[in-house]
Amino acid sequence: MPSGALLFQSVILGLLLGGLYALLAAGLTLYFGIMRVVMIAHSAFLILAAYLAWWSHTELGIDPLLSMLVTVPLFFGCGVLLQRLLLARLRPVTLTMMSVLLTFAIAVVIEGLLGYVFSGTQRRIQLGYGSASLELFGARIAVVKLIAFGLAGVALAALYLVMKKTTFGWALRATIQHRDAAKLVGIDTDRVAGFGFGLGLATAAIGGTALSLDTTIYPSLHWHWIGPLMAIIVVGGLGSVPGAAAAAMVLGLAQSLLQIELGTTWAQTVFYLALFLTLAVRPQGFFGGRLAQRF
């Protein structure tokens, strides 16, 4: 039986990790809501942002957090272009399947280009405050993990406010709920859908920067993220942001606790186990609404 302090530390680390999962899953949920698209390339963009943060730190010597000033607008633009130029061209009838292949292709291209430009070597940012940590009831929490969680929390809160309080957020939610009806009341749904994709990809930029602070990165790392993230959105119920956030917290916590007994690799299987069980027992997920039942 692990000691109380170790258990407590695992709980904290699990919650911190869950915060990052929640932010990234929110992005995936957004794409799914807008276009019924399972965006495989989401985590590839995540790793791309982490590489850009690492590059700006080692080559330009600036703090990785400042790289967000460039990557967030850049990724927002990429998201808009991706939706307007590529995904909107696909036939509506086969959109769900073909968009998976298209975003898969984008993920593979990003992985290949990262490997070509930065080589397959594992990279890690060396920060002045990288080894600093806080003591809390016997648990040691690295400061960078707190910063990553803070970033994810602020980004999620901002996303929530945009969705609930702004006119654009209303238009976006209307588009998600019923595209034709939204068009009827005068919303330019194509434009809104493009911006929605931009928002989703911006979460990948923030998540990637947070990830780069304390993780060793390499080009094929995105496969380790897309699996858990997809499991989270299915368990939460496709299309439900609160569901994704809750599932992210629960599964992040479960992964962190299982690591004590099983080690890091086997603990990852908890995501896939949850995915299979959810689909077998409750295919619409645990928080899914009308949308999830059909997909």
Judged by the rule CB under 8 A, the positions of this chain that interact with another protein are: 32, 36, 38, 40, 86, 89-94, 96-98, 100-102, 104-109, 111-116, 120, 219, 223-224, 226-227, 230-231, 234, 238, 265-266, 268-269, 271-272, 275-276, 279-280, 283-284, 292-295
- Spatial neighbors of 48 by CB under 8 A, at least 6 apart, are 110, 114, 208
- Specify the residue, 7 or 100, whose C-beta has the smaller distance to another protein: 100
Q: Phi/psi of residue 187, each to 5°?
A: -85, 135
- Specify the residue, 228 or 252, whose C-beta has the smaller distance to another protein: 228
| Torsion sign (Cα): 45, 47, 50, 55 | negative
Contacts for 64-67: CB closer than 8 Å, 24+ residues apart: 64/125, 64/127, 64/209, 64/212, 64/213, 65/147, 65/151, 65/209, 67/209
Burial (Cβ within 10 Å: 0-12, 13-18, ≥19) of residue 244 = buried
Q: How far is the CB of 157 from another protein (least distance, A)?
A: 28
Q: How far is the CB of 275 from another protein (least distance, A)?
A: 6
- Max Cα distance, the chain (Å): 61
Q: How far is the CB of 283 from another protein (least distance, A)?
A: 5
Q: Tell me if 41 sits within 8 A of 280, measured CB to CB.
A: no
Q: How far is the CB of 178 from another protein (least distance, A)?
A: 18
Q: Phi/psi of residue 136, each to 5°?
A: -140, 110
Q: How far is the CB of 164 from another protein (least distance, A)?
A: 26
d(CA 279, CA 283): 4
- Specify the residue, 127 or 204, whose C-beta has the smaller distance to another protein: 204
- Specify the residue, 36 or 191, whose C-beta has the smaller distance to another protein: 36
Q: How far is the CB of 222 from another protein (least distance, A)?
A: 11
d(CA 180, CA 286): 27
> Rg of the Cα trace of the chain?
19
| Torsion sign (Cα): 226, 228, 229, 233 | positive
Q: How far is the CB of 221 from another protein (least distance, A)?
A: 13
- Specify the residue, 149 or 286, whose C-beta has the smaller distance to another protein: 286
- Specify the residue, 149 or 197, whose C-beta has the smaller distance to another protein: 197
- Specify the residue, 127 or 231, whose C-beta has the smaller distance to another protein: 231
